[in-house]
A and B are shown apart, each in its own frame.
Chain A
Amino acid sequence: MDRFLYLTFDGLSRGAVYAAFALALVLIWRAARIVNFAQGAMAVATAYAGYSVANATGSYWLGFAVAITSGLVLGAVVERVVMRFVDHSSPLNGVVVALGLVLIIQGVLGMIYGNEYRPAPAPFSRDAFEVGGVAILSRYDLFVFAAVGAVVVLLTLLFTRTSTGLRMRAAAFAPDVSRLLGVPVGGMLTLGWALAAAVGSLAGMLVLPTELGLHPNAMDLLFISAFTAAVVGGLDSPVGAVVGGLLVGLLLSFVSGYLGAQVAPMAVLILLVVVLLGRPDGLFSKAKARTA
């Protein structure tokens, strides 16, 4: 029973991070109809910035803030300087450019910082609480839940209650009409990328202390799990991203815990097949018109 509880909370904690990252992917998908394959690399870059500042000033929170802010900046820059000039007639072009960006980012990071694994300490203790003799959660897990929860709430408020959010949704859904109505579509796109990158940076900072260390390839696995989560939930649905993230996190935790760490990716594949066979556009996709 202890094992089960521990695995549940561990899975939810990881799942929360996947949810955040998946949200970032969904944000960009809804805004630009691109899957941002460079999301992980961008998050790592901002994490390096964050940890450099944290090590230099001794304050984790300052580094944390720097990471999020540089996420905003990096997202905006990538959109303005690179993505805007990509020929979007074929979605593959965006994919290839993003993959090229991944190589550039990881290469540059390696050149500046080297490829060793740097320790990425957590701001709170990662030792589990004992609740009735069972090690369940740690302070750090609670922090993760709080951070991701805050992000989800903030984004929901932004998109449903503010006029900027409305403009962003309009720009994504009907760009030409929005332009006619005076919505700065390009600017909204940049804002979308910036926000998504900031959310990705947050997810990265949250997951790093649980990994082997900070290094240029640290977020590759996270990207894969989060992409799976987003696909399972439906790329058009933020709710789907969160549910998908938690599902994937729990699945990975239980399978690793009871069947062994190596079986986990197979479980993810099976999850994908099962979900997509029944609902090819993800769990929370809207019903499509029948074509035949």
Chain B
Amino acid sequence: MMKRTATVLAALLLAAGCSNGNSNSSGGSSNTPGVTDSSILIGTHQPLTGPAAAGYSEIAPATKAYFDYVNANGGVYGRKITYKIMDDGYNPANTQQVVRQLVLQDKVFAIVNGLGTPTHTGVLDFLKTNRVPDLFVASGSRTWNQPDKYPGTFGFNPDYTVEGKILASYVKQTYAGKKVCFLGQDDDFGRDSLEGVEKVLGPVAAKQTYVVTNPNVGPQMGAFKAAACDVVILASIPGFTALSIGTAAKIGFKPQFVVSNVGSDPSTLTKTLGAAAPLLEGVVAANYLPLDTDESNPWIQLYKKVNSQYNGNAAFDNNVVYGMSVGYLFVQALQAAGKDLTRDKLTEAVQKGGFTGPALVPTRFSAQDHSGYAGEQITKLTGGKATYLGTPYTTDDADGAVTAYSGAAATPPQNGIPPAQ
């Protein structure tokens, strides 16, 4: 036994020794990890597989396509952006692994657009300890908006509480006096959203939760049917939006569905519902970026061009619009950070804020506020496509009023790349 143990341990040592060599593949200058004179390495964690992959798996490739477009036009201050996309399957445990790999082994400059409330919450402390900029988290949780606790973390999506208030205001106006129920994901996403809804509408008639690992929402829809809900607000990812609408129809329950932005992309829902797609007619949702079907919008024209040239002409939907908008914002931040690029300079540039881009509302970045976009505009799904209703609204996470936003939309630069500062 001794000999064998010895052999095993020796083999381990050898393996460790061999691996020592190839671990420093993407070094960069010792001062700023991930940055050389000609390249920037950034990373992200995304659900490329698993129950949240529907729709969301298209986001990172779209962002990467936009970066490829920028690289083809000279990059940012001569540096080409490499975007390493790691799959965590929407499982917080996997996120721990891949983010550690990105930061410790690949030595990325920053983490950009890490996706998911339950997944990203677990890596905040690790990223803070390692002083890695954690930009434009793909989620509306309020956890990203803690400048004192997590100075390097910045949001992108409008807070779920903000969205909840805006959706609830629409319901209050349009469906006054009707019974409102709420189905949310059993984590901060669902909780924050419910809080926003109840701030405007008061306690809902019935509330249920779902977990991503249990794809059966029959009991929840059954409970809503028993409570005779007229309106059901969904804080769900696309797969579960489709599941809820489909399951409700099967038990003969047909309320007005009002869906969170993150779970309402019409193309994704149509694909997931398949033959049951007509059920989407009349569903209300919200958005803050140009709609994928708005051919006259200059941003959509730019994105479609990039999509056909650099994204393998993938199916063009709101997830692609989202991904490219993230890419655009990140390049803006890089330009603002200047040629002498360090992690601190990047976070300072983001904190300064003032970015104008494709979104209908402004960002809220400041020294006291690290949350993303300030509001949304209501959409309605007709014929499988979404159209905007009314005007955009902005509000805050607390008890501030929901106010209409009247700022004009920005147009993209001539070549579609944010100019140097």
Do A and B form a real pair? Answer: yes
A290 to chain B, nearest CB (A): 40
- Known pairs A6-B222, A7-B222, A119-B275; list 10 more (Cβ under 8 Å): A115-B48, A117-B54, A119-B272, A121-B274, A128-B252, A211-B215, A257-B219, A260-B219, A261-B214, A261-B220
The answer, yes or no, to whether B239 is at the interface (CB within 8 Å) is yes
Please judge, given known A-B contacts A127-B249, A130-B252, whether A261 and B210 are in contact too, CB under 8 Å.
yes
**In the complex, which of the residues B57, B220, B222, B250 contacts A116, with contact meaning CB atoms closer than 8 Å?**
B57
**Considering the complex, which residues of chain A in the window 251-282 have a beta carbon less than 8 Å from any beta carbon of chain B?**
256-257, 260-262
Closest to A140 in B: B250
Contact status B243-A212, CB under 8 Å: yes
Contact status A127-B222, CB under 8 Å: no
Contact status B49-A115, CB under 8 Å: yes
**Residue-wise interface mask of B (326-357) relative to A, using a CB-CB cutoff of 8 A (1 in contact, 0 not):** 00000000000000000000000000000000
Q: What B residues does A126 contact at CB under 8 A?
A: 250
**Considering the complex, which residues of chain B in the window 218-269 have a beta carbon less than 8 Å from any beta carbon of chain A?**
218-220, 222, 226, 239, 243, 249-252
- Please name 17 pairs of A and B residues whose Cβ atoms are closer than 8 Å in the assembled complex, sorted by A: A10-B218, A110-B49, A115-B50, A116-B53, A116-B54, A117-B53, A117-B272, A119-B272, A119-B273, A119-B274, A128-B252, A135-B251, A135-B252, A212-B51, A213-B239, A213-B272, A261-B220
Contact status A119-B243, CB under 8 Å: no
The answer, yes or no, to whether B216 is at the interface (CB within 8 Å) is yes
**Considering the complex, which residues of chain A in the window 164-191 have a beta carbon less than 8 Å from any beta carbon of chain B?**
none
**Residue-wise interface mask of B (176-220) relative to A, using a CB-CB cutoff of 8 A (1 in contact, 0 not):** 000000000000000000000000000000000011001111111
Closest to B186 in A: A262
The answer, yes or no, to whether B271 is at the interface (CB within 8 Å) is yes
Q: A6 to B219, alpha carbons, bound, how many Å?
A: 11
Q: What B residues does A262 contact at CB under 8 A?
A: 211, 214
Closest to A10 in B: B218
Contact status A257-B222, CB under 8 Å: yes
Contact status A3-B216, CB under 8 Å: no
Contact status A256-B272, CB under 8 Å: no
The answer, yes or no, to whether A8 is at the interface (CB within 8 Å) is no
Contact status B219-A127, CB under 8 Å: no
Report which residue of B216, B226, B252 has the largest number of chain A beta carbons within 10 angstroms of its beta carbon.
Answer: B216
Closest to A7 in B: B222
Report which residue of B50, B219, B222, B272 has the largest number of chain A beta carbons within 10 angstroms of its beta carbon.
Answer: B219
Q: What A residues does B243 contact at CB under 8 A?
A: 212
Q: A262 to B218, alpha carbons, bound, how many Å?
A: 12
Q: A115 to B272, alpha carbons, bound, how many Å?
A: 13
Q: What A residues does B273 contact at CB under 8 A?
A: 119
Q: A115 to B54, alpha carbons, bound, how many Å?
A: 9
Q: What B residues does A135 contact at CB under 8 A?
A: 251-252
Closest to B87 in A: A115
Q: What B residues does A115 contact at CB under 8 A?
A: 48-50, 53
Contact status B226-A117, CB under 8 Å: no
Q: A35 to B250, alpha carbons, bound, how many Å?
A: 36
Considering the complex of A and B, which 8 residue pairs feature the smallest CB-CB distances, nearest first? A119-B274, A115-B49, A212-B215, A256-B219, A261-B219, A135-B252, A257-B219, A126-B250
Chain A residues with CB under 8 Å of chain B are 3, 6-7, 10, 110, 115-117, 119, 121, 126-128, 130, 135, 138, 211-213, 256-257, 260-262
Contact status B275-A121, CB under 8 Å: yes
A4 to chain B, nearest CB (A): 11
Q: A213 to B240, alpha carbons, bound, how many Å?
A: 11
Q: A257 to B54, alpha carbons, bound, how many Å?
A: 27
Contact status B250-A138, CB under 8 Å: yes
A209 to chain B, nearest CB (A): 10
Q: A195 to B277, alpha carbons, bound, how many Å?
A: 37
Q: What A residues does B54 contact at CB under 8 A?
A: 116-117, 213
Closest to A258 in B: B219
**Considering the complex, which residues of chain B in the window 278-325 have a beta carbon less than 8 Å from any beta carbon of chain A?**
none
**Residue-wise interface mask of B (66-88) relative to A, using a CB-CB cutoff of 8 A (1 in contact, 0 not):** 00000000000000000000000
Q: What B residues does A7 contact at CB under 8 A?
A: 222
Q: What A residues does B53 contact at CB under 8 A?
A: 115-117
A47 to chain B, nearest CB (A): 15
Q: What A residues does B271 contact at CB under 8 A?
A: 119
Contact status B272-A6, CB under 8 Å: no
Please judge, given known A-B contacts A6-B222, A212-B243, A257-B222, whether A128 and B211 are in contact too, CB under 8 Å.
no
Closest to A119 in B: B274
B265 to chain A, nearest CB (A): 14
Q: A260 to B274, alpha carbons, bound, how many Å?
A: 28
Please judge, given known A-B contacts A116-B54, A256-B218, whether A3 and B252 are in contact too, CB under 8 Å.
no
A260 to chain B, nearest CB (A): 6
Q: A130 to B51, alpha carbons, bound, how many Å?
A: 32
Please judge, given known A-B contacts A135-B252, A138-B250, whether A212 and B239 are in contact too, CB under 8 Å.
yes
Q: What B residues does A110 contact at CB under 8 A?
A: 49
Contact status B49-A128, CB under 8 Å: no
B108 to chain A, nearest CB (A): 24
**Residue-wise interface mask of B (31-57) relative to A, using a CB-CB cutoff of 8 A (1 in contact, 0 not):** 000000000000000001111011001
Closest to B251 in A: A135
Q: A221 to B215, alpha carbons, bound, how many Å?
A: 10
Closest to A259 in B: B219
